[in-house]
Copies of this chain bind each other. A is one copy, B any other.
Amino acid sequence: MSQDRNRGIATLTDVAREAGVSLATASRALNGSSRRVREEMRQRVLTAAGKLAYAPNAPAQAMARGSTNVLGLLVHDIADPYFSSIATGVMRAAEKQNLVVTIFNTWRRPDREAEYARTLRGQRARALIVAGSRVDDLVAQEQLEHELVEFESAGGRAVFISQGRLRFDTVVLENRSGARLLAEKLTELGHRRFLVLAGPSKLRTSTDRVQGFREGLARHSIQLSRDQVLRGEFTRDGGFEAMTRALDLGLAPDCVFAVTDVMAVGAMAACRQRGVRVPEDLAVAGFDDIATLRDVTPSLTTVQMPLDDVGAMAFELVAAERADRPRLRRVKGQVILRDSTARPT
């Protein structure tokens, strides 16, 4: 119990004294450095540590070693199942390497990302995963990239989970091709008049999905005009509100594509409220295949993204050494047709 401020925390010095060895030996015994310690000494140290309930002072180790075992994860909102799925994947992988995961909620504010990246640099975090759609905000994006460059030059590793980036390793979610496939399947089912419920125009995830959907329709010679795309928040309420608006406008599509499952659920709720039957009166499709939403009725047609794996893949990238040029891991979505888009009668 070396100092007062520790209020009774045992330090390595205490352990060494208790074991009757030097500080250096204690350190080497407990952390198996490159140097070996005679088994007998090792045991002495280990028992002493156990007896004193010694827990290494992580900040001190970080100081001395110049690096930590902290992994930062930046998400828009951890309560969103999309992100919590990714987080689980990351944590599952991180825990195997004894990394500790610190999560930051940006609440969808791009400037926060840069701020937190800087905080993590200060923490000397070993790695940093930025999850969530990029935003068409050049200033914020520039600032973020700048922080990430600093972060990496400080010895950390940074990767994105989002759209293709140029300067960093990225797990790319192929939103466009997924949406394209979905559009094709839906037209093959016989749907013709579409309506898209999109997210904020700045979010690339949203714009990519809309664009992909448009391309898919185009392959079947179906045009998607501007007024067939309604915008709303990227949330359940956003979907609800946008769908309500559509109904109020008297739009009469036979199929609605909401760019996320969460919005799709909101849209279905709006339909229910207005007495519009899904899928009889209107087909609805989503995107992501959120696990918690697999049991809504009618079951939701969607594009499955393996979010759990995505988290794990991001971790793999982050655990690997930085390559000379950014690595990309492309993740494709898979269309899953369910009841919400039954063939129109």
| Interface: A251 (CB within 8 A) | no
Task: Name which of A20-28, A58-66, A159-167, A170-178 contacts chain B.
Answer: A58-66
Please state if A101 and B100 are interface contacts (CB–CB under 8 Å).
no
User: How many chain copies does the complex carry?
Assistant: 2
Instruction: Please tell me if the beta carbons of A268 and B293 are within 8 angstroms of each other in the complex.
Output: no
Minimum CB–CB distance for A99 against chain B, Å: 11
Q: For chain A residues 232-263, which have a beta carbon within 8 Å of chain B?
A: 236, 262
Q: Determine, out of A1-9, A38-46, A184-192, A205-213, the stretch whose residues face the partner at the interface.
A: A1-9
* Chain B hits for A272, CB < 8 A: 297
Report the separation of the CA atoms of residues A150 and B10 in the bound assembly, to the nearest whole angstrom.
10
Query: Residues of A with Cβ closer than 8 Å to B?
Result: 5-9, 53, 55-60, 62-63, 66, 68, 70, 77-79, 81, 84-85, 87-88, 91-92, 95, 100-105, 118-119, 121-124, 150, 153-155, 236, 262, 265-266, 268-269, 272, 290-293, 295-297
Shortest CB–CB separation between residue A46 and chain B, in angstroms?
15
Residue of B nearest to A150 (CB): B53
Q: Is A78's CB under 8 angstroms from B84's CB?
A: yes
Q: Are A154 and B56 in contact, with the CB atoms below 8 A?
A: no
Residue A9 contacts which of B53, B105, B123, B154 (CB distance < 8 angstroms)?
B154
Which of B62, B101, B269 contacts A295 (CB under 8 A)? B269
Task: Write the nearest CB–CB distance from A115 to chain B, whole angstroms.
Answer: 11
- A292 to chain B: closest residue by CB: B292
Across-interface contacts of A124 in B (CB, < 8 A): 57-59
A7–B63 touching, CB < 8 Å:
no
Given A55-B121, A124-B58, A150-B53, residue A81 in contact with residue B78 (CB < 8 A): no
